[in-house]
Structure formats: C-alpha cells, structure tokens
Amino acid sequence: MFTHRSWKWIVAALVAAGPLLLAAPPALPTPPTPPAPPATSSGGSPLGRYLYDNGFVSMQVENSGHNQAIVRVGINGTNAALVLDTGCGRTCLTDRFARKLKLDVGKGDPMVGVGGKLAGGGFASLSSVSFNNSPINSINTIRVLPPSASVTQDGILGYDYMRLNSVILPVGMGYFLYKPDPAPPPELDSFLKALGYQAIPLSFGEGGLRVSGSLDGHPLVALVDCGANYSLFDAGFVKMTVGALVSGSGLTSWGIDGRPTFVGIFLADKLTFGALTFPPTRTTTAAGTTLPAIHAQALLGYDLLAEHRAIIDLGHNVLWMKQGVAP
C-alpha cells in the first residue's frame, strides 16, 4: 500500500487487532527515542533497581524508524517479530506466520478496527510463548488474522499478554519490563510521583485501553494505543470543537479494510488527560473511522505518548505522563 508521495506508516491499531495505514504529515514532531537500556541490576536507576528486585525482567524493543515498536518473541519455539500494541485487545499472528508454524486455525468472529471491519481469521492452539528464550505467563490460544489484514510484522503483541505479565512500558525508550511470575506487581506511585509523573487511570473496554480527557473544554475518551504511529481524532468531534481551524493535508489513510479516508491537520489548543495539560499540539483528524461506534473521540498514539514520556503500567492499569525526562 502506497500513500501520498510513497510514504507508508502505521497510524492506528485495530480495535480487536491490526493497524490503519496513513501518510505521515511532515509537519508533525518526531518524538524522542533515547537509546538508554533499562536497569536490570543494582547499577541502574532507582526505579529499575526496585523493579529488578521485585522480579521484573527487561525486554528489548526495536523501533522500525516509523514510530512502530517491535519485539522478538518465541512462538512454539520459532522467533516472531510482533508489533507492540496496547490498542489491540488480543495478541495475534498473521495468516502467513500461522501457516509457517503449521497451526490448525479454527474460525473466529469478524474483527473490527478503527478503519473498518474484516471477516475471516480465527484462533489456533499454542504450545509455548517465550520472552528472552524463557517461558512467560501465556494463554493456550492465539488469534490469527485474515490474509487481507495489513500488518507489517509476524503479528501483534496485544493487551492480553501484556496485562498477564504486568508489563511496564516506557513508550519510545527501547525496552519494556515484565513479570513472568503470577505474584502481584509492586506499587510504583512513590517512585513516579517523586519524578514528576502524574497518574491517569486506564480502563479496558470497547476498543481496548481507554482514558478520559478533554479538547478545548469538550470531554473526550481516547484509546491509548502505542501501536498507532500518530494520534488521531474523530473528524466529527474535531469539527464540533475547533471547526474551521482544520486544514487539508493532501494525505490519505487506509483502514484495515483497505478503504481510504481523508486526513486533516489541526491545532489542539488545550488537550488534557487527567491533571496533565499538553501545550498546543498539531495532530491529525480523519473521517470514516469506527471511533464513534465504540464511543471514543480520539486515539492517543506513539507520537504524543513518547513526547510526554508516557509509562504504561499494565500491572495496575495506569498511564503515567509528564513533560520532562523519563527515569
């Protein structure tokens, strides 16, 4: 799939599984990607040492160069490259990779994404899942995407596996931490509040992880989706809040179902989540998404999550954000 001037980007993850494709607006900021690894011993940061002492293990996260995080995991003893995606409720494999593993795939319900609906795909049984060549807390079945799904890697590492392993994900930092034993994860509040972070409660519902906020004083619900390269707001909601301030971009997005939609750029003058108010932010809007159908107005993607040093704590379902340097 080629976009305006042949730019290709993943922008929004499927509500159930999979991404949207969007031409990247050249005027949008590039979030920082510090190379520092996580603390895995007593020589690291206080937070890292604390997590290491409480049974957490670090896992490397690669960046495709297009705001897309990729992890290498073992599936039935075979290496798989999966897109790290908190906006995807179920971990999934592509049809191609499932055939490579010779999985017996049973039928599943249609999958609905921010950009459309896909029939086909199903479920398959697994014998093993591993991080760092070691077994993790896992589920004995996995979702298999239909052949027409637009996924750039072997599949998607979704909310279910991240929640099961109490993943702590500092977005854009090149790693995450997980707890491969079933003991409850330790609290992080004292460490992160001392570093200037603010806690924003997360809920899991229609479309995945959700957070409440507002745009120019208008309440909104946003999907928290590190698998989306760029944040995206529903065009109807943006028209109601900022109206004529939306400008045409000449850019087009493609949903998981292959249908193109118009993309505009606008200035979010006052965007707030929890107690954190962002500075004026240029971001994108598109019509034709299924955001209204799942009672959401926006998708908070990798760009703004990384820019505001987001830490997604899936052990406690809390989004931590700040304007400053990550720990």
Out of 1-15, 40-54, 60-74, 162-176, least confident range: 1-15
Out of 119-128, 156-165, 257-266, 292-301, least confident range: 257-266
Q: 11 lies in a domain?
A: yes
252: pLDDT confidence band, cut at 50, 70 and 90? low
What average pLDDT does range 234-261 have in this prediction? 69
Contact of 263 with 247, CB cutoff 8 Å:
no
What average pLDDT does range 275-295 have in this prediction? 84
| pLDDT given at position 250 | 60
**What is the residue range of 124's domain?**
46-190
| pLDDT given at position 254 | 52
Q: Which long-range contacts (CB under 8 A, 24 or more apart) does 215-220 make?
A: 215/241, 215/242, 215/268, 215/270, 215/271, 215/272, 215/297, 215/298, 216/241, 216/242, 216/268, 216/269, 216/270, 217/270, 220/296, 220/297, 220/298
Q: 288 lies in a domain?
A: yes
Q: How far apart are the C-alpha atoms of 249 and 233, rounded to whole Å?
A: 15
Contact of 180 with 167, CB cutoff 8 Å:
no
| Residue 105 and residue 238 in one domain | no
| Residue 281 and residue 224 in one domain | yes
What average pLDDT does range 283-309 have in this prediction? 86
pLDDT in tens, 7-41: 222 233 333 333 333 333 333 334 333 334 444 44
Final residue of a structural domain among 142, 160, 190: 190
Global pTM? 0.82
CATH of the domain at 18: 2.40.70.10
Total number of domains in the chain? 2
| Residue 54 and residue 184 in one domain | yes
- Which residue matches tokens 């109807």? 236
pLDDT in tens, 143-153: 998 887 778 89
Closest by CA to 151, choosing from 118, 123, 184, is: 118
Q: 85 lies in a domain?
A: yes
Give the H or E element holding residue 14.
none
| pLDDT given at position 1 | 25
